[in-house]
Amino acid sequence: MNLVNLPFMKNKEQIIKNVASLLQEVPSSMEIVKDDDLKEKRFYILAKHMVDKALRHNALLVTDDLNGIAILFDSEKMKDPIFKELKSDLHLALNVTGIKKGITALKHQKHIKNQRPKNEHHLYCWFWGIMPEARGSDNNKTPYVMKDWMFAIAKEKQLPIYAETRLKRVNVAYRRYGFKLINEWVHPSGDTMYFLRYDPKNR
């Protein structure tokens, strides 16, 4: 399976649709997206926001069959200008979350962000999704291919990768791949959020 970088592709629309579909399996996304007749559209808007931001920061990784998608930020390059962040937050509040859920989401994101080091150059896996038809335990399957790709980037840059998840099966997968559990947080929903770190220097 080949891996390609989206700026050299013409499949942005399908990537956004795939991300929108995958977001509907993520507890945090399901909680913040306003539940009404426009729910599907709202997931699409959220996915487009994520893909556009990843493209601006050269952080989007996609397999050539579009079944594997990750957003891997460099901590020194991921921040947008404050006016752009405020504009994005307002856009999401009006079109995705609603004001009340938007404020709650920002509070949760602040706590999550505080789990990552402020003074350590690192990579941050903001999103990692595999379409259902490409999941599996075979070493040739998409999850393993993408894992190897991200680890190669970490090794080349000699930077650790930080990630978090509220899904137990994803936590298990991360740790099987070589991530170490560094913290847990009882999310206001009652779920446990797992914070993980991968250090290429230990491999």
Dump pLDDT digits (tens) for 42-57.
999 999 999 998 988 8
In contact, 59 and 74? CB cutoff 8 Å:
yes
Check: CB of residue 181 under 8 Å from CB of residue 173: no
* pLDDT at 108 exceeding the cut of 90: no
Tokens for 94, please give them.
């009006």
Q: Within 10 A of 14 (CB to CB), how many other CB atoms are there?
A: 12
Task: Show the domains of the chain with their CATH numbers.
Answer: 3-202 (3.40.630.30)
Task: Retrieve residue 14's tokens.
Answer: 């399908």
Q: Is the dihedral of CA 58, 44, 185, 113 positive or negative?
A: positive
SS3 at position 187? coil
Helix (H, G, I), strand (E, B) or coil at 98: coil
**Global pTM exceeds 0.95:** no
> Nearest-CA neighbor of 69 among 51, 49, 85?
51
Rounded CA separation 165/169 (Å): 9
Q: For 2-30, what is each residue's pLDDT tens digit?
A: 555 554 567 899 999 999 999 999 988 88
